[in-house]
């Protein structure tokens, strides 16, 4: 999955470098490159945190 993200950022970087203006390139890289990667990382962290809380809850229920 990380390889897919690296590939995505590379393609978007090349696409943004081919834009007519610097502003268009920066906006393209920000909206199509950085934003999806940040969203993906946030979802992964949220899922991991939920799993840890569920495991801790299940462990606490077993001790009681």
Give residue 37's pLDDT: 92
pLDDT category, 50, cuts 50, 70, 90?
very high
Domain that holds residue 25: 2-63
CA dihedral (25, 30, 33, 39) in degrees, to 10, reads -170
- pLDDT per residue over 24-49, tens digit each? 999 999 999 999 999 999 999 999 99
Report the domain count for the chain.
1
Show the 3-state SS of the chain.
CHHHHHHHHHHHHHHHHCCCCHHHHHHHHHHHHHHHHHHHHHHHHHHHHHHHHHHHHHHHHHHC
pTM of this structure:
0.72
């Amino acid at each position: 999955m990380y390889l897919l993200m690296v590939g995505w950022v590379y393609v978007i970087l090349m696409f943004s470098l081919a834009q007519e203006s610097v502003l268009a390139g920066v906006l393209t890289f920000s909206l199509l490159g950085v934003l999806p990667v940040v969203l993906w990382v946030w979802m992964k962290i949220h899922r991991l945190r939920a799993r840890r809380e569920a495991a801790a809850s299940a462990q606490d229920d077993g001790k009681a």
